[in-house]
Amino acid sequence: MPFQVRFEDDAVEHLDALKARERAILLDELEKQLVNQPNVATRHRKQLRPNPLAKWQLSVGDFRIFYNVNASKNEVVILAIGTKVGNRLIIGGKEYKL
């Protein structure tokens, strides 16, 4: 059964701050990557070490999508969307360290 993708309010703000083309690319990749088996590590998906942000990360180019999986509800919750600039991660205009 496919997973439902839900966005937290902060993630919606992060998505809205992007250009229309970037949003389209990210939403398309979310549909491809997270609807089926979002909790299986792949080349672009990885489980993160314990941190206060999220358990999983999806990489799409220079973008990073942080999410948690609720398998009992078949739900993926998008928590934040950031941009990788060199070795820095920018989320909502602020540098974030994982």
Indicate the DSSP class of residue 72.
G
For the chain, what are the domain ranges?
4-96
pTM strictly above 0.85: yes
Residues of the chain scoring pLDDT < 70: none
Give the pLDDT confidence score for residue 4 in this predicted structure: 96
- Cα–Cα distances in angstroms (integers) from residue 14 to residues 36, 42, 71, 72, 79, in the given order: 24, 24, 25, 27, 10
Span 4-96 CATH architecture: 2-Layer Sandwich (3.30)
